[in-house]
Structure 1
Amino acid sequence: MTSRRPYPSDLSDARWELIEPVLTAWQARRRQGALGFGRPPEHDLRRLMDAILYVDRTGVPWRYLPHDFPPNQTVYGYFAQWQRDGVFTQLTGLLRRLVREAEGRGAEPSACVLDSQTVKTSANVPRAGQGADAGKRIIGRKRHLGCDTLGLLLTVLVTAASVSDTAAGTTLLTRIAAAHPRVTKAWVDAGYRTRAIDHGARLGIDVQPVTRPPGRRGFVLIPQRWTIERSIGWLMHHRRLARDYETHPHRSEALIQLAVIDLMTRRLTGETTPNWRGT
């Protein structure tokens, strides 16, 4: 049997050690639940995760997966099941805590940053799931992100592009307050209006809009918001996120979480993958 040549997106042994306990625990729960009913999951979890990361990093359609991966229907089935069972959310939280502790921070953040990104959609996205962002003149979807001050994902919400930052921001703040009760500060841009600020105050979170200095044009680095803008830039190294191809917005959210998982495992192990800049 010939050995398989790895792809740059494949998990290294060190990165797999970070992810494996969560997937193994999920597999054990599924096997226990399948006793006497249906077939328990028996596919190699590492190969499945490698295949999902390949799609996220390269942007290929599921049916275009190389043949040395498990069948594309199987890979997508596991991806969908892991999304439904909250596996990606669990991994995101675990790895975020590890990264924060590795950088000398507390496991739980006390402040966060909110921002959004509007992207075009592909032809297979239902019209009802799209909208027009009048400010950016884009018809598509909008990704609303909440990150800590290191730029690590706390929560994500994908909506039609017509949904305002204020409306989605109230949802993000509610989720963050419930999952991260230590958070008492949130920095946002000028797109978040009084409604989001008042909602944050009711949750015990001081929402502070941060604007560019008066009279400055072009790119201006604003420290309170740079971390999340940098994180959005990092997400774009995953070509599946260059446009929204997913029929369901919760699948889009899962692919964003998967990209963050990929980035955080590399951050913890000190590994890098060359991007289009050759770095």
Structure 2
Amino acid sequence: MDTVLLIKAAVMGVVEGLTEFLPISSTGHLILAGSLLDFTGDRAKVFEIAIQTGAILAVIIVYWQRIRDTIAGLPSERQAQRFALNVAIAFVPAVVLGLLLGKAIKMHLFTPMVVATTFIVGGFIILWAERRNSVDARIQSVDEMTPWDALKLGLVQCLALVPGTSRSGSTIIGGMLLGLSRKAAIDFSFYLAIPTLIGAGFYSLYKDRALLSAADIPVFAVGLLFAFLSAWLCIRWLLRYIANHSFVPFAWYRIAFGCLILLTASMGWVEWSA
């Protein structure tokens, strides 16, 4: 096995884990990292989606008690049934639009320049959202959400089909704008990530299975492992961070990073490729 390829897989795994649950776009960072590492092409795109499953495993571990209690309570507890229904409702829009538009989006929008632009636009949206966010949120806990709230968040999540937008950023900031507290928006974003990213990973592996072989297993395993470890650390840090901080630093990071990509491309310092 090519050692350099395994190192690249590890780096991509770390990038995925550190960015998946922050409002800075894991897909966008993976596209840029892949461009710099010369880790591109159809197989690389399958790899980038598949290793999200490693990051999701970290969510399952961190939130295991709530997930276990929900599963155990489904037959008889109304709160568990409503919570599971809300997650399912929020999951559906991304499935429908992903199946309808996924191929076209990957073909035309998975480029560093699109990522740079959405980084910048998303950064300004976060700044705007933080400026108007009220401490008196309508929904303080995910258990207070209605199916209508869940559907609206599911529709907002669809914005993340455009690379660079950020799935977590869309659901967290969108949730805050729709009346969820910061904590409730983050919690629901994590729960919604479980079916969304696992479904996307398995669907991508199945759809593009002809591109893969047994020789790819070590590369995917390394990527999954490093995505899990870095995501676990990131989630635990983020849950502590949000207690006393806003997302404004992430907004400025997005804007600065997006401008840097555009600058290096226009000056010819970096030859970004899809």
Say whether the fold is shared (TM-score over 0.5).
no
| More strand, by proportion | 1
Larger Rg over CA atoms: 1
| More helix, by proportion | 2
Structure 2-normalised TM-score? Answer: 0.30
